[in-house]
Structure formats: C-alpha cells, structure tokens
Structure 1
Amino acid sequence: MSDAQKCVPLDEEQRSAAADDGVSRWTDAYFNRTKQTIGKFGDTKVTYAIFMRRPVVAAPRLAVEWLKSVAEQRGFEVKIDVMYDEGRWVGAGEPLMYVHGSFYNLVDLETLLLQKIGPACVAAYNAFSMCMELPNVSFLAMDARHCAGTEMAELMAYAASVGSARAKRKGGAIGFIGNATDATSHYFGQEKGLGTMPHALIGYAGSTVRAAEMYHETFPDQNLTVLVDYFGHEITDSMAVCDRFPDLAESGKLAVRLDTPGGRFCEGLDPAGSYAVLDRNAPRAIRGYRTEDELRHLIGPGVSAAAIWHMRESLDRKGYGNVKIVGSSGFGPEKCKVMALADTPIDIVGSGSYLPDVWRETYATADIVDYNGEARVKVGREFLLRK
C-alpha cells in the first residue's frame, strides 16, 4: 500500500456511526465482510464508476436520492457526479455516474444502489421507444400489477415518465398521460391514477352494457372507457354501448378498450379477414417482408393492427367516429413499431410492457476506479477511468 493509501483503523465511535441500518440484511455477504475488513485496517476515499452494458436512457434520480438519504443517515459525505442529465441517451459502457466517498460507508451500498439504477434506465429507454413509434398516441402506464412489489412499481412509473418526457422533447410525442395507481401518479402530473373498469366488473354486472351503466352512474362526470372483450363480442358490445350512450359517443367522452386475449381473434375476424382489413386500410403494412412476430401483431389473434382497424371501421360505419379506441395487451416497443407500420388508428395505449423483456439487460455494474486519489481499476475496465 502506498503512502497515499495508508489508512488508520476506525475506532468504535466511527464504526457505530455507520451502524446497521437494514442495508446489511439485503446486500451481498462479501460486501459486508469487506466492510468489516476495512473497519479493522482503515478507511480510505474511493470513487465508484457505475455503468451499463447496453444503451439506455438516464433515469438516476431515485437512486441518487436514496444514496444521499443513506449518507445523511450514516453521517458521512458523499459526492455524486451524474454524467448524464435525466432523460439523456447513454451509450453502452459509458459511466452514468461517479460516486466519491468513504469506502467503509459505501461498500455495502453497491447492491441496493445498482438495483435502483439498471431497471429504471432500461425501462425509460423502452418507454421512449414506444412513444416515438406512436407519437400521436396517448400512453397509460398499467405496469403496477406486473411489478415485483411497490419499490419496483415506483421505479417503473418513474422510468416511464422519464422516457415519455424525452419523447416529448425529441419528437413532439404525446407520451404517457398518466398511470394506474394513485401512489405514482405524480410522476405524470396527475393527482390520481387513471382507469375505469377491469374485466371483473363486467363479470359482476353480467353484461358489458350494464357494467358501463353502473360505472357511469357511480362516476357521472368522468369520461367512460369500456372493456368490450369479456364475452368475445368486441364489435357487438361496442355498438351496444355506443347506442346506450349516444351523447358521450358524440362528444368524444366514450372509448372502447380492446384487450382480446392472444388465444382468439377479435369478433368477426380470422386470418383471411385480418388480411382483408389491412389491405383496405394499410396495404403497405402487409406487402413487404414481415417477420413472424410482426405478422402476429399485424394479422394474428389478440389485439392486432387488423383488430383495431376492424373496430374503427365498425364504429365509423355506425356514425360513431368520435368514439376513441384504447388498446392493451402486450404493447411493448416491438408491437408499437408494428402498429406504426400499419398506421393503426389507436388513440390510447395501455401498457406495462415498457418493463424490460430481457431482465439481464438491466444489470448495472459498479467498479472502483480510484483509491485515495490513485487511479486504479481491474484490467479490462480502463475505459471507466475519468479522462
């Protein structure tokens, strides 16, 4: 150890200042043991570089706020150099931030810090991609029920808001207008979560029209969005709801939501019918080369581009041109791209699919690149050293 790195062991008072605050139970054991070793042989100042192995959109705020909170609680000074402003594109391997401070106090925080960085940055990237593919469509974040607990739900809502804000700046997109829960609605400038009815309410009511009546009677001043796939009669039930609420339909306060499961086609469609619908409305979408996944989103079962065009044709034919269409079920970046290929007339997308599909891509990594003023990093990670 060089003179610059010689350290004095921590006394009991210094160790107690960084007493267990719940972190040790959730961090990797080797970090806890490293902390004990540092406590015995002496603390030093270090610099961590934090990066990811794939391109992302920077979403560091929740991680930074958490780290500052822990530092204040433990009574040590931490300096955080965030290299990319929130919402900026970050290339693979580029440090998102540098963290400077006491090795003793930082070493056991790495695990929890990385958990708060990687998933949020990848989800922000995916949310941005979806909004850019469909810039004229409003998005509703419906991720909460797919999250592994409330902490992840907050990370994902925050990430969607960051990706959405970037799409608004870069492409004039409408982006995410809200989300499904009250707790995280503030990320979208809302006071409450958005949404009207689940399938369970329709099952309770016994009919799609009756569920709409019950909801409207309970919330008469709200716009009405009605799920129409419960009984497999998407077109029939949509027309019945419009006939029941003609004033809402005319004023644009009525929407029908397609959530048809992937095991069947929307009412009135099959593969041949789906091709025919797109041939009438977006022929270029099916006349070029398409992958199997793209074809599934275009003309397959579930909420396909053909299904949405089929609904739009049916509504317009009956004079309900102001009724909006909401689509949900599997709307991630890839599906949104295909919807754009088919100029799909969708007004709102309900999505939880900006959640990363490949979870290993969310892994953030941290390496110490400086020990007490001396630059040093493991071989192969020299690109992290500050220039």
Structure 2
Amino acid sequence: MPHKPDNTAGVTPADVTQLVPPAQAAELERQVAANTDAYFRKTKAIVERMGDKQVTYAVFMRRPVIFCPRLVVEWLEKMAAARGVKFQIDLCHEEGTWVGAGEPLLYLTGPMSQLVDLETLYLQKLGPACVAAYNAYSMCCDLPNARFLAMDARHCAGAEMADMMAYAASVGGRAARRDVGAAGFIGNATDATAHYFGNDKGFGTMPHALIGYAGSTLKAAELYAETFPGEQMTVLVDYYGQEVTDALAVCNRFPDAAQDGRLAVRLDTHGGRYVEGLDPQASYAVLERHVPNAIRQYRTEAELRWLVGTGVSAAALFHMRTTLDRAGFFNVKIVASSGFNAAKCKVMASVQAPIDIVGTGSYLPDHWTETYATADIVAYDGQPSVKVGREFLLQK
C-alpha cells in the first residue's frame, strides 16, 4: 500500500455518512450517464447483474506533473455521498508535489458497480490541472521575483475548465513559492475562481476596449481614476502604438500614484510591430547596452524574437524601464503580457528582463494529449491483477 500523506494541502476526505438530497443525487447521476463512455455504462449493468467486486484503481499520467488532486477528490466524495457508499482514496503524493511520468498519483477503492462509470469524468478533472500546474510552476521558478496574474479564463472551454486552470495556477504558484521562494501567482482575472488565490475578487483594470471607448490612453486612465478613485491602476499603453508616449503622459497626469507605486503600465504589444521607438537595429542596441552577452549565445529563432523582435520583447521591456526611470518614475511597475508561456519566461529570466508582473494564460497546456490521465484496475476483491505491461501500477 502506498504511503498516504498526512497533509494534502487542503484535500481532506468528506463525510459521506450524510447523503445528498435526492434531487441533487438524481442530477449527478444524469450527468454521469450522459457524459461517461458507453462501455463503462454497459460494464456497470453487467456487474450489477452478475455480482459486484471490490476493486482498486491506479491513476497515473505519462509525463511529469505537479499533483492537483483537490477537484477530483471533492467530486468523488460527492458521488460517493450521492450513491450512499464510501470510496477509499489513497493519495500517493501531497498537493503541489512533483510526480514523475508513470508514477501512480492515487489509488481509488470501492465497489466496481459504483466506480466503473465514473472513470471518464474523474480523469477529466485531474490530468489538465496537473499539467497546467506544472507549467505554472516552471514559469514562477524561472521568474521568481515577478508576480503572476492568471488571465486564462477567455482561453478556456467553459467555466469548468476555467475553474481547473485557476486551481492549477494557484497550486503551481504555491509550489514555486515553497521550493524557490518565488512570488508566484498572486491572483487571477475572475471573481468565480479568486478564492484559489486567497482573494475575494479578480484583479484587473482596463481592456483595450476601454481605450478605444475613451478615445485616448490618457482619457481612459482618467475615466478609470474617476470611477474607481484611490485604486491601484494598470494602464494598457499599446492601443495607439505609442507605448512610451502614452506611458509618460499617464505618469505625468497621476504623479502621486506614480510616486506611491499605485500605477503600472502594461505592455501587450502584438507580434505584428515593434514597441514605439524600436526597430531591429534599435532593439539589438538596447539589449547590447543592458545584457551584452545575451545575443552572443546560441538562440533559437523563437528565443531571438522574444529578445529583440516584435511584440513584448526583452528589448521592449528594457526600453520602457529606462524611459520611466529617466523621467523619474522609478516606482511605476511594468506588467508584461502577450504570449508569456514557460519558454518565453525562461528567456526573459536569462537576461533578467525588468518585469514586475506577468499577465498570462499561456500556462495552459500546449499539447492536449499530454493532459490525458489514465486509470487501470489493479486489484479485484484484494487480488492483484492488471493488464500486461502495467505491472508497475500494482500496489507495493
């Protein structure tokens, strides 16, 4: 039997002695029946007809992950309560722990008739979160001094996925804070999932739509300050292609906020153009001044673009920081967004790009096939049995 951690960072077995209300139980069963694979429903019918067995499932993934069991445990406990049974859930690792490819994540034991049709749904709640947490962890470790905001909701396939991804970012961020002292993820963009980060509400000030509505970046900042007086303000400065000009205009308009550190500028320049004041030659010159050896190392085409190319490059960030400092706005923060995935964060870290906050949804898995979790029965009525080739899943 694997070791079951004493502390699973908030994952605790629920009390299943109290059954859920009949209407809620019926709705849960309807959802399971509609969304599970047909062969699981047929197997359930056969087992119920021919005789039940106590089974143990091993759940694992084929790539390294950060373990995120909370959502699957909560759902399994809810289903157990709805069915009037108890499932034994043995977590092999603590929440936020790095787990290698093929290592069992958890063992799940209970009546086969009550477990066999749940596999599809509980795997959906486990795999994507574990991979997203791994990506979030990597990003936070690479940029330990930057704070991260989870801005993934618009890239998710519905509210359930958004819930999983926010949970994953919070777990990955906490793990990076624990392991390397990183600032990690401090919040996200929506109220619904803010609780994962210990917040009541989502963070954010203005989208590009507000800039367009106002007619100028400065006017948008003024409208925001008038509507939400005293709040910290992050101003998008790329709408009109005048990142430097508009950033300075806003700072000059709100000098007290700039001085007190309540003002930030957000670079979100798309990859179709350079930040104001830069071109290929100027970008190389900026990087040469700040990090002379950066472009003398071997770089892939993508890495070179992140350093001196269009969009939010390292050169653009150094350019903005230098401009703000020269104008005396040392306390104005820089928020970087636009394609900040794990690889881009690693490149920014290699040159110590001046980033205070990273707004990202790009910790979401790039390759969805990597998110597939798998479950196999490894024991029937206490007797070990698993398909050939999966013997490594047997309980030790």
Please indicate, yes or no, whether the TM-score normalized by the shorter chain is above 0.5.
yes
Deviation at 1:374, TM superposition (A): 0.9
TM-score by length of 1: 0.94
Q: Is 321-330 or 280-289 further displaced after alignment? A: 280-289
CA distance in 1, matches of 2:259, 2:311: 28
- Alignment partner of 2:119 out of 110, 135, 142: 110
2:327 counterpart of 1:332: no
**1:74 alignment partner in structure 2:** 83
Q: Does the 8 Å contact 1:17/1:75 carry over to 2? A: no
2:273 counterpart of 1:264: yes
Q: Does the 8 Å contact 2:28/2:79 carry over to 1? A: no
CA distance in 2, matches of 1:18, 1:385: 35
Deviation at 1:185, TM superposition (A): 0.6
SS in 1 for 2:324: helix
Q: Does the 8 Å contact 1:261/1:302 carry over to 2? A: yes
What does residue range 205-224 of structure 1 map to in structure 2 within 5 Å?
A: 205-224=214-233
What does residue range 59-70 of structure 1 map to in structure 2 within 5 Å?
A: 59-70=68-79
Q: Is 262-271 or 93-102 further displaced after alignment? A: 262-271
Q: Does the 8 Å contact 1:309/1:345 carry over to 2? A: yes
Q: Does the 8 Å contact 1:139/1:177 carry over to 2? A: yes
Write out per-residue CA displacement over residues 150-208 of structure 1, whole angstroms, 9 at most, x where no aligned residue: 01001000000000000011000011111001111111111110000000000000000
SS in 2 for 1:98: strand
CA distance in 2, matches of 1:18, 1:312: 55
CA distance in 2, matches of 1:203, 1:108: 51
Deviation at 1:18, TM superposition (A): 12
2:56 counterpart of 1:43: no
CA distance in 1, matches of 2:28, 2:39: 17
TM-score by length of 2: 0.92
CA distance in 2, matches of 1:145, 1:21: 28
- Alignment partner of 2:323 out of 314, 317, 327: 314
Distance 1:198 1:18, change over 3 A: closer
**1:240 alignment partner in structure 2:** 249
Deviation at 1:88, TM superposition (A): 0.5
2:119 counterpart of 1:97: no
CA distance in 2, matches of 1:38, 1:218: 62
Q: Does the 8 Å contact 1:19/1:74 carry over to 2? A: no
CA distance in 2, matches of 1:253, 1:287: 37
Deviation at 1:322, TM superposition (A): 1.1
CA distance in 2, matches of 1:19, 1:181: 26
Which letter does structure 1 place at the counterpart of 2:274? F
CA distance in 2, matches of 1:243, 1:169: 39
Deviation at 1:20, TM superposition (A): 3.5
- Alignment partner of 1:356 out of 362, 365, 377: 365
CA distance in 2, matches of 1:19, 1:129: 36
**1:372 alignment partner in structure 2:** 381
Q: Does the 8 Å contact 1:17/1:74 carry over to 2? A: no
- Which ranges in structure 1 are unaligned for 5 or more consecutive residues? 1-15
**2:95 alignment partner in structure 1:** 86
**1:176 alignment partner in structure 2:** 185
CA distance in 2, matches of 1:380, 1:284: 49
- Alignment partner of 2:145 out of 129, 136, 139: 136
Write out per-residue CA displacement over residues 321-350 of structure 1, whole angstroms, 9 at most, x where no aligned residue: 111100001111101000001110010000
Distance 1:140 1:17, change over 3 A: closer
2:179 counterpart of 1:152: no
Q: Does the 8 Å contact 1:18/1:75 carry over to 2? A: no
Distance 1:184 1:18, change over 3 A: closer
Q: Does the 8 Å contact 2:268/2:337 carry over to 1? A: yes
Which letter does structure 1 place at the counterpart of 2:298? Y
Give the percent of matched residue pairs that are identical in Structure 1 and Structure 2.
67
